[in-house]
Structure 1
Amino acid sequence: MRIGNFRIPMMASLLVWLVVWEIVGRLDLIFLIPPVTEIAQAGLRLVQTGSWQNASLITLRSFAVGMALAIAVGVPLGICMGLFKTVDRLMGMWVNMFVSAPLSALVPVLMILFGLGETTVVVTVFLFAVWIIVLDARAGVMQVPRSLFEMGRSYGASGWTLFSKIVLFAALPEILAGIRLGLIRGVKGVVIGQILVSVIGYGELFELFSRNFEMASFWALTIILFAAAMLLSALIEHFEHRIDYYAGARA
């Protein structure tokens, strides 16, 4: 962003909002919004507690297992939908339905099926993440130019060689984009699942802080989650940039 001849860093907007937040907190206008400095101090105290460390391990484990399952199922299913019209017709309606459905409403049903434990959170992460991964993998495969298939066949490439050397690499930008979006949705899934279960991980801490009106700790935990989601997204985006030449080669 530029003002006249001066280039304003993007972080300037964040700093402005932090200053405004600090002023509002200091004026004690809204009980739910403590000063930023108080939130930072609460965050430093929070990360040193055993309860936060234990909750973080549970949350990371639930998130990692759910995302691993989402990627293991979503990428192959999306590729199959892109390659085979029969699979696309069979699964397309369900995938589009779950992408647009309010998945939070399914968590109580999952609690009945899997109980008030970590399994429910893992399944919630999976359901939040897998559908967008499927759609992006499908889109990546469907955008591979037919000319690449014809070129591979003209050189005598087998079906597996066409898939592993052409389709997979050509679709990789969209596959990584889907995984990045799935990671963000997975973070939402793990938080929503744990909050509704309210007995494990960060959900237990959110329940504890809100019940005791510890708003500084509540906001500190929220900011930690936001920062983790942004770092995960930035990491996948870094890999996306490294393979952008595949997308350029398809044009």
Structure 2
Amino acid sequence: MEIYGYRVPAAAALIVWVVIWEIVGRFDLLLMFPPFTEVLASLPDVIGTPSFAEAARITVVSYLAGLALAIVVGIGIGLLMGLVKRADQILNMWVNIFLSAPLSALVPVIMILFGMGSPTVVATVFMFAVWIIALDTRAGVLHASPSLLEMGRAFGASRGQRLKLILLSALPEILAGIRLGVIRGVKGVVIGQLLVSIIGVGALFSLYSQNFLMAHFWALILILFAFALSLAELINRLEARVEYYAGSRS
């Protein structure tokens, strides 16, 4: 990012928002926004409690289970859509509907199917993450290099080996879908724990909001943001390592 010819790091935008947040908090313009420095000061109080450790354990287990299921199913659906035209005609509309639909409204339905507790949270994470992974996998399969596949047939590659070639060729798009699914999954785990199963971080959000501990509330949000962005950055670095696959299709 450049301003008046000077290169400014993208993170500088965060500093601007932090300053605005601090000013709003200091002047008590909004009850829900304590000063940013107060939020930072409350981080040790939030992280150091036994309730946070237990909430983090429940949340991470539910999140990773739902995300792993979304990755496996999403890649499978995307491969099917990309390889079988008839399946793409049937599934494409439904995948796009679920991707754009307000999935929060479906959480009570998920609760009826899976009951109260962690299974509902796992299903919610799955629903939030799977569709973007499926669509990006489909895009990667459709953009697989025809010459690469033709070479596989010419050298007598088996069906499984040709499928491996397609997966490797689609890997950049698959990783992009997983990166987006990671972020959407964090949203799903919080919504699932807040709306249906008051467990994990959902229970802490409820506790802090009911007792007007807004600094602790926002500190917990910062922790979740840091968790989601860290996972997304790890996948982004992995994307950079396999970028040469995309180059072979240009």
TM-score using structure 2 length: 0.96
What is the rounded CA distance, in whole Å, between the counterparts of 2:249 and 2:162 in structure 1? 15
Q: How does 1:24-43 map to 2 (within 5 A)?
A: 24-43=24-43
CA RMSD across the alignment = 1.3
Q: How do 1:179-190 residues align onto structure 2 when only pairs under 5 Å count?
A: 179-190=178-189
CA distance in 2, matches of 1:128, 1:232: 16
Q: Which moved more, 1:81-90 or 1:101-110?
A: 81-90
CA offset digits 1:71-119 (Å, max 9, x no partner): 1111122112111123222322221221121111010111122222111
The secondary structure found in structure 2 opposite 1:144 is coil
Equivalence map 1:99-248=2 (5 Å): 99-164=99-164, 166-248=165-247
SS in 2 for 1:250: coil
Give the residue type in structure 1 aligned to 2:215: A
Letter in 2 for 1:187: V
Aligned residues between the structures: 250
- Please tell me whether the aligned partners of residues 107 and 195 of structure 2 are also in contact (alpha carbons under 8 angstroms): yes
Distance 2:145 2:11 in 1: 40
Asked if 1:16 corresponds to 2:22, the answer is no
Please state whether the residue corresponding to 2:170 is helix, strand or coil. helix
Aligned residues of 1:22 and 1:36 also touching (Cα < 8 A): yes
Q: Which amino acid aligns with 2:8?
A: I
- Going from structure 1 to structure 2, the CA distance change for 1:123 and 1:198 (only over 3 Å counts) comes to closer
Partner of 1:31, secondary structure, is coil
Aligned AA for 2:211? N
- CA drift of 1:5 comes to 4.8
Q: Name the amino acid aligned to 1:130.
A: V
CA distance, structure 2, for counterparts of residue 204 and residue 217 of structure 1: 13
Cα offsets for 1:56-82 (capped at 9, x unmatched):
110001100000111111112211211
Aligned mates of 1:97, 1:36 — CA distance in 2: 38
Structure 1 residue ranges without an equivalent (≥5):
none
Q: Which amino acid aligns with 1:214?
A: L
Q: Distance in 2 between matches of 1:221 and 1:249?
A: 43
Q: Which amino acid aligns with 1:9?
A: P
Check whether the contact 2:133–2:174 (CA below 8 A) recurs between aligned residues.
yes
1:216 is paired with a residue whose SS is helix
Map Cα deviations across residues 110-149 of structure 1 (whole Å, 9 max, x no partner).
1122222111100000011111111111110111122222
Opposite residue 145 of structure 1, the aligned amino acid is S
% identical aligned pairs:
58
Letter in 1 for 2:186: V
Q: What secondary structure sits across from 2:248 in the alignment?
A: helix
CA distance 1:161–1:198, change in 2 (3 Å): closer
